[in-house]
A and B are shown apart, each in its own frame.
Chain A
Amino acid sequence: MINLIINDQKVSVQAGTTVLAAAKKLKINIPTLCNHDDLCVAGNCRVCIVEQKGARTLIASCATPATEGMEIHTNTLKVRNARKHIVELLLSEHRSDCTKCYKNQNCELQSLANEFAFGDHIFLDLVEDKKYSIDRSSPSFIKDDSKCIRCQRCVRTCSELQYISAIAVANKGAHQKISSFHDRPMSHVVCTNCGQCVNRCPTGALVEKTYIDQVWDAIYDPDKHVVVQTAPAVRVALGEDLGYDPGERVTGKMVNALKQLGFNSVLDTDFSADLTIMEEGTELLVRLKKALVDGDTKVSLPMFTSCSPGWIKFIEHKYPEFLPNLSTCKSPQQMFGALAKTYYAKKRNIDPSKIVSVSIMPCTAKKFEADRPEMRASGYKDVDYVLTTRELAVMIKQAGLDFRNLEEAIYDSIMGESTGAAVIFGATGGVMEAALRTAYEIVTGREVPFGNLNITPVRGMDGVKEASIKIEGCVEAWSFLEGAELKIAIAHGLVNANKIMKLVKEGNAPYHFIEIMACPGGCIGGGGQPIPTNMQIRKNRMKAIYSEDENMVLRKSHLNPEVVAIYKEFLDKPNSHKSHELLHTHYVERDNF
């Protein structure tokens, strides 16, 4: 243990602990900007400077490990003056038009300005000399350089967590900026639209592209029937933007709030998640059968999940030779969209051209996905508008709802029914677990051999998880799988996806089925989730997801009554012709820059 003194208080910490963390242990707050728990230390904003006795300069507390006998003061005149200067300097380069900024009141720079730089600015305005540009090319987010404080969180996110480096630091000195490859528009680089950078940006320099006004317009248009679907991960995170602690489930209140906002029908992406399991599970079994029984050597195995549009774009850019390994299933969002304007329209007797289909997602990549030209199976744009969890919170605030005191409500029907298997889609390993719960039962006629259906080996925050399941006692139709060992792997965060893809490419991946989610922790850690998101918060949300699952009566996708019904009435059977038309898709190869 290392002993040091901060503001005259003694504290002992593990070797390697930063001064910042040591101070936190004493509940001494030191402001930060470039620091983020998910990322490596940058030490570039310098807001966290403190005074170390005997040191020539101030030290950056986030970047300096505590050493034995260190004496630190966090709030001396020297520190305050320098810190005020730093905040003033940042503001002088920054277009501070808070009142029209999406991050107003949820901005780390603004909070610091409130503390350290209210009143007249000391320094000259530099913004007028800069030729800042705004990149609106991505359907998912806006990059506004005039709001950027060069903390490089986004750059670190994109390279460390996502292994993409779609954005990097360019130029030096006064011209330094965050740029894409050759300054190309974000829509024309390897960016996966995952929004992880957006989630970590402390200012309004990276924000999702919002469609709130369009959604309001649709709601108020008496001619339109507006359906909304909510992704599983939204219900365990939305509360954070409305004053709840991370990890509190607000499903019922959220449903009620959506009704109050005026959506005509409040439905659940869980329904199409269950459908995904039926389609994808069947697809996997068919591929296995082709490979094992028919001896078809062209079958693409391992099969990869396809519900994470960030991951889809990643593989399209980086490993296009493996596109045939992707499940052809659309993501639950897009399955839902395709059915909303076909099956739902028919059942509810509504003209599909009058349906506006909105989805609430933990994800910014879903905005891009909804815009893909492939996603018009219904003859219309299957999903019209995608809002993030954060945008929904904004709408709830705009409407003045007293969220905390709302009654709990339940989803409408049809396409509002859910199972626990669908809920866990929101966490890494969840799709795999849901698929196993169903596929194992199809093949063996028995439930998965795990206590209370909880397939714990696929759960948790390890970046890459592996498991295998021995298939014994098959029912007759699947007897060719008797004794087979189904090998699976799971990765979340594209840096981990890349690890697996390298193995696959080298031929060192002995798996049959691989689940990949673009975001750390899966959708609970999605780019559209409340800010901040970090490991502890992801863990809390994950816990909430699994408790939601355990509290459900139905916990296996094939038991979802609405899923059973749709096959009977509309789709016939999994992977049927109709399914393929509406629920499956194809992928495109993309440039790698």
Chain B
Amino acid sequence: MENTGLNKVDLIFEKIDNKEVLAKAFKMTKEEIIKEVLDSGLKGRGGAGFPTGMKWKFTSEEKSPEKYIVCNADEGEPGTFKDREILDRVSNKVHGGMAIAGKAIGAKKGVVYLRGEYRYMLPKLMIELTSFHKMIKEIGYDFNIEYRMGSGAYICGEESALFESIEGKRGEPRNKPPYPTVSGLFEKPTSINNVETLVTAMMIVKHGAKNFIQYGTKDSRGSKVFSVSGDTPTPGIFELELGMTVLQFVDEFGDGDTKAVQVGGASGFCVPRKKFAETIIGFEGVPTGGSMKLFNSSRSMYNVLHNYLDFFTEESCGQCTPCRVGCQQLLKGVEKVKKGEAKSTYLNELMKLADSMKIAAKCGLGQSVGNAFKSIVGNFKEEIIY
């Protein structure tokens, strides 16, 4: 993997003295912490890309004696497995990031919502958490973290469904507004951040925002961890500077026959070969929570699409019409077109439906089904029809 032009970064997994960074952070005022994170331009690494500093600022401005910092470790997006690695290797930095966020927003309690399938990690995480609690006590800081297990539903990674789930209710997204910063877990002001976001924020506090903005672009500052899978000789976890094009990425990770890259998992976009060069991986182009899946020419894009639609049809929480029924229609629709039981022009109706889902569904799940659908159907129509 030499000589590719991709800039590898070592921030997330960098060995640091946790205690020292935390001691430094706890000496800062909350305004100072928030300013540093705002200046860094860090955007959430969970997928939606909301500026982390803003989220902390809004939460800190809420007047409530009780607030929460929630770490989203549900990692349900197909093709993402970076949060597992982060928790496995540097859970201390995750806990540290939560404590710093807690300081910034004024929360004394943190909750990690851990993907059900990661339960096997829990014993180790508990040991690490105990020593973490001990350490911050030594620094003289009052902050407490708890783990809650998810139960396998993709929708429970959506922030408000996640709160419902922690509260013991059915994991269904809530109406927004109110946003979590105003009314989140147990209806208290809450900042919910992805695992990686929290670690990145901690490293920003350590190295300073100036250091962070050396990397990346105006819209996509810094670096992030990618989960690379599919038709690649080198699957795995890679921390890369943001701002590369899909072409640069494929040059590094492709198998020489890459015809498409699904950026951002099932809810992300499919980039076809002809657009590799012009498409930037980042918020100015195709954003990703980390999932990068490569497809070579042996793959049927119909099957790829079918897979994603199957996934959404099952994983929609089912409460709102555009998503619950829309997913079923998209799925059944492409099946019928493929079989020749519906006219190929029916795809046009489905494209319009995907547009409606994008603007009318209640939460991010239903709103993003159209991403994969439109980009795959739009770019590989012949594979869907024939």
A571 interface hit (Cβ, 8 Å): no
Q: Tell me whether A174 and B318 are in contact in the complex, defined as CB-CB below 8 angstroms, given that A122-B349, A124-B336, A126-B332 are known contacts.
A: yes
* Residue A262, interface by CB 8 Å: no
B359/A58 in contact, CB under 8 A: yes
Contact of A60 with B321 in the complex, beta carbons under 8 Å: no
Residues of B within 8 Å of A47, CB to CB, are 321
B327: Cβ under 8 A from any A Cβ:
yes
Bitwise interface map of B from 358 to 380 toward A, beta carbon under 8 Å scored 1, else 0: 11111000010000000000000
Please determine whether B170 and A169 come into contact, CB atoms closer than 8 angstroms: yes
- On chain A, the residues within 8 Å of B318 by CB distance are 150, 169, 171-176
Known interface pairs A58-B360, A123-B329; A176-B322 also in contact (CB < 8 Å): no
B139 within 8 A of A: no
Q: Is B153 an interface residue (CB 8 A)?
A: yes
- In the assembled complex, which residues on chain B have CB atoms less than 8 Å from the CB atom of A150? 318-319, 321, 324
B248 on the interface (CB 8 Å rule)? no
With the chains together, A63 CA to B177 CA distance in Å?
8
> Do the beta carbons of A90 and B342 come within 8 Å of each other?
no
Segment 146-176 of A: residues with Cβ below 8 Å from B = 149-150, 152, 168-169, 171-176
In the complex, whether B326 has a CB less than 8 A from a CB of chain A is yes
**For the complex, is A136 an interface residue (Cβ under 8 Å from B)?**
no
The range of chain A's interface size is 35 or more
Which of the listed residues A42, A60, A123, A168 has the most CB atoms from chain B within 10 Å of its own CB? Answer: A123
Q: Which residues of A contact B349 (CB under 8 A)?
A: 122-123
A42 to B314, CA, bound (A): 21
Taking a contact as CB atoms under 8 Å apart, the answer to whether A57 and B358 are in contact is yes
Tell me, in angstroms, the Cα distance from A123 to B321 when the chains sit together.
14
| B interface secondary structure, majority | helix
Chain B residues contacting A463 (CB-CB under 8 Å) are none
Quick one: CB contact mask for B310-339 with A, threshold 8 Å, 1 for yes? 001111111111101111110011001000
The yes or no answer to A552 lying at the interface (CB within 8 A) is: no
A65/B177 in contact, CB under 8 A: yes
Q: Is A534 an interface residue (CB 8 A)?
A: no
Are B314 and A89 in contact, with the CB atoms below 8 A?
A: no
- For the complex, what is the distance from the CA of A417 to the CA of B367, rounded to whole Å? 63
Contacts of A122 in B (CB 8 A): 349
B353 within 8 A of A: yes
Does A433 count as interface, using CB distance less than 8 angstroms? no
A105 CA / B221 CA spacing, docked (Å):
58
Closest-CB distance, B220 to chain A (whole angstroms):
19
Asked whether any CB of chain A lies closer than 8 Å to the CB of B24, the reply is no
B356 located at the interface, meaning its Cβ lies under 8 Å from any Cβ of chain A in the complex: yes
Considering the chains assembled together, what is the distance between the CA atoms of A49 and B360 in angstroms? 7
Whether A44 contacts B320 by the Cβ 8 Å rule is yes
**Interface residue B352 (Cβ < 8 Å from any Cβ of A):** yes
* Inter-chain contact B361/A46, CB cutoff 8 Å: yes
Tell me the complex Cα distance, A60–B170, Å: 21
- Cβ-based interface call for B175 (8 A): yes
- B-facing mask of A116-160, CB < 8 A → 1, else 0? 000000111010010000000000000000000110100000000
Which of the residues B172, B321, B359 comes within 8 Å of A89, measured between beta carbons?
A: B321
Asked if A78 is at the interface (CB within 8 A of a chain B CB), the reply is yes
CB of A46, distance to nearest CB on chain B (Å) = 5
**A63–B175 CB distance below 8 A:** yes
Q: Mark B139-161, 1 if CB is under 8 A from A, else 0.
A: 00000000000000101000000
A45 with B324: CB separation less than 8 A: no
A92 in contact (CB, < 8 A): yes
Complex formed: what's the CA distance from A169 to B164 in Å? 14
Interfacial residues of chain A within 80-99, with CB under 8 A of chain B in the complex: 81-82, 85-86, 89-90, 92-93
Number of interface residues of B (CB under 8 A): 37
Give, as a whole number of angstroms, the nearest-CB distance from B78 to chain A.
15
A72 CB → nearest B CB, Å: 15
Q: What 0/1 readout, one digit per residue, does chain A (88-114) give for beta carbons within 8 Å of chain B?
A: 011011000000000000000000000
CA distance A44 to B153 in the complex (A): 19
Assembly CA distance A113 to B326 (angstroms): 17
Q: Which of B95-140 contact A (CB under 8 A)?
A: none
Across the interface, name the chain A residue whose C-beta is closest to B319.
A44
Q: Are A173 and B320 in contact (CB under 8 A)?
A: no
Q: How far is the CA of A85 from the CA of B362 in the complex (A)?
A: 15
Q: Does B332 contact A44, Cβ atoms closer than 8 Å? A: no
Within 8 A of B (CB), among A165-198: 168-169, 171-176
CA distance A150 to B360 in the complex (A): 16
Do A93 and B360 have beta carbons less than 8 Å apart? no
Cβ-defined contact, A85 with B322, below 8 A: yes
Chain B residue at smallest Cβ distance from A63: B175
Closest chain-B Cβ to A189's Cβ sits at a distance in Å of 18
A41, CB-defined interface residue at 8 Å: yes
Are A81 and B332 CB-contacts (below 8 A) given A46-B361, A60-B175?
Answer: no
Cβ contacts under 8 Å, A528 to chain B: none
Q: Are A174 and B327 in contact (CB under 8 A)?
A: yes
Are the C-beta atoms of A82 and B325 separated by less than 8 Å? no
Determine if A309 is an interface residue (Cβ-Cβ < 8 Å).
no
CA distance A150 to B336 in the complex (A): 26
Establish whether residues A92 and B329, one from each chain, have CB atoms under 8 Å apart when the complex forms. yes
CB distance from B328 to the nearest CB of A (A): 5
Residue in contact with B362 in the complex, picked from A60, A90, A149, A173, CB distance below 8 Å: A60
User: At the interface, yes or no: A325 with Cβ under 8 Å from chain B?
Assistant: no
In the complex formed, the residue of A with least CB distance to B349 is: A122
| Assembly CA distance A285 to B358 (angstroms) | 66
Residue among B175, B312, B321 making CB contact with A90, cutoff 8 Å? B321
Query: Quick check: B360 and A41 within 8 Å, CB to CB?
Result: no
Known: A46-B362, A82-B359. A124 touches B317 (CB 8 A): no
Question: Is there contact, CB below 8 Å, between B329 and A174?
Answer: no
State which of A46, A78, A85, A174 has its C-beta within 8 Å of the C-beta of B314.
A174
Cβ contact within 8 Å between A82 and B333: no
Report which residue of B175, B313, B314, B336 has the largest number of chain A beta carbons within 10 angstroms of its beta carbon.
Answer: B175
**Min CB distance, A472 to chain B, in Å?**
50
Most chain A C-beta atoms within 10 Å of own C-beta, residue among B336, B349, B352, B360 = B360
Kindly list chain B residues whose C-beta atoms are within 8 Å of the C-beta of A174: 313-314, 316, 318, 324, 327-328
Q: Which residues of A sit under 8 angstroms from B315, Cβ to Cβ? A: 172-173
- The answer to the question of A43 belonging to the interface, with a C-beta cut-off of 8 Å to chain B, is yes
Decide yes or no whether A378 CB sits under 8 A from chain B: no
Task: Please tell me which one of the listed residues A78, A81, A173 contacts residue B316 in the complex, with CB atoms under 8 A apart.
Answer: A173
Considering the complex, give the chain B residue whose CB is closest to the CB of A51: B359
Q: What is the bound-complex CA distance between A122 and B320, given in angstroms?
A: 19
Please tell me if the beta carbons of B362 and A81 are within 8 angstroms of each other in the complex.
Answer: no
Measured in the bound complex, the distance between the Cα atoms of B333 and A82 in whole Å is 18
The reply to whether A57 and B360 contact each other, CB–CB distance below 8 Å, is yes
A126 to B321, CA, bound (A): 14
Kindly provide the distance from the CB of B336 to the nearest chain A CB, expressed in whole angstroms: 7
A1-59: which have CB < 8 Å to B?
41-47, 49, 56-58
| A124-B329 in contact given A57-B367, A85-B356, A172-B317 (Cβ < 8 Å) | yes
- When chains A and B are docked, how far (Å) is the Cα of A400 from the Cα of B78? 62
CB-based contact A126/B329 at 8 Å: yes
Q: Which residue of A lies closest to B336 (CB)?
A: A124
CA distance A396 to B176 in the complex (A): 46
Q: With an 8 A cutoff between CB atoms, is A64 at the interface?
A: yes
Q: Roughly how many angstroms separate A86 CA and B361 CA in the complex, as a whole number?
A: 10
CA gap between A57 and B366 in the complex, in Å: 12
- State which residues 144-192 of B face A: CB under 8 Å: 153, 155, 170, 172, 175, 177
Q: Is the CB of A124 within 8 A of B359?
A: no
The answer to whether B360 and A85 touch across the interface, beta carbons within 8 angstroms, is yes
Partner of B320, one of A46, A56, A81, A171: A46
Chain A positions within 8 Å of B328 at CB level: 93, 126, 174
**Complexed CA–CA distance, A2 and B155 (Å):** 34
In the assembled complex, 8 residue pairs joining A and B whose CB atoms fall closer than 8 Å, in A order, are A42-B319, A46-B361, A57-B360, A149-B321, A169-B319, A171-B318, A172-B318, A174-B327
Q: Known pairs A58-B360, A92-B325. 12 more at Cβ < 8 A?
A: A43-B362, A46-B320, A58-B359, A60-B175, A81-B356, A85-B352, A124-B342, A126-B329, A172-B315, A173-B316, A173-B317, A176-B324
What 9 pairs between A and B have smallest CB-CB spacing?
Answer: A176-B318, A89-B325, A63-B175, A85-B356, A43-B175, A82-B356, A44-B319, A82-B360, A173-B316
